[in-house]
Amino acid sequence: MRTKIVAGNWKMNKTASEAAALIAGIRREVAEVSGVEVVVCPPFTDLKDAAAACAGSNVALGAQNVHWKASGAFTGEISAAMLKDLGVTHVIIGHSERRQYFGETDETVNQRTRAALAAGLVPIVCVGETLAERDAGQMEAVVVRQTLAGLAGLGGDVAKVVIAYEPVWAIGTGRTATPEQAQEVHALIRRTLAGLAGAAVAETIRIQYGGSMKPENAKELMAQPDIDGGLIGGAALEAESFAAIVRAGV
């Protein structure tokens, strides 16, 4: 059985003091929860305070991005070693917003994933099609391409990766992905992983759903056979709603 993983992507929200308060609330809410891996991913500026707030709890700390080089002239970037030194264990890579606004490509996703793995971080690698791509019937081609390119050349380390499927078309468009639609793509991703690493390995890799998961739909989504948790956006900014999603994965 794959352990569910629920990760909160805070995006560009919360100051350091606000982060500590939110994590304190999350700790209280999920202290008795077992069988679900819980991760919070605050902005870089919050990580030191967030690490202290997570210490001694069942809440792990993630970051929202990582550079592929160990150091150098990369203004504004953060290395895997810097994240590790702060107590970070997970890192989101290739989020749709990074691809849309900041020039992320399949190639840089692969480079960042390799750097994260080399440092012992767990990469949460994001894939997903836009509204235009889905309407053009390109969902399968896009998702398969992003998955294979993002994980290219990883060898046995593929087993250490978490995949997050983001239906970009269901975010802010008024459209909603049904549990069945989400499951269809998750099953496609798992078949793609099987082709890459073998069926046995593919069965162990966790695939999160990242399309507006909320307390109201979390249980039904995570009941699908290939949905192994959630990458949570807005609902992760409030302790009670985030905890409700975590509990839905039990």
Where do the H-state alpha helices sit in the chain?
A: 16-30, 47-54, 80-85, 96-102, 106-118, 131-135, 139-150, 179-197, 199-202, 218-222, 239-248
Taking a C-beta distance cutoff of 8 angstroms, is the pair 6, 36 a contact?
yes
Q: Provide the annotated active-site residues.
A: 95, 166
Nearest to 16 by CA among 54, 57, 55, 44: 44
The percent helix, strand, coil of the chain (3-state, each to 5) is 50, 15, 35
How many C-beta atoms surround the C-beta of residue 203 within 10 A? Answer: 12
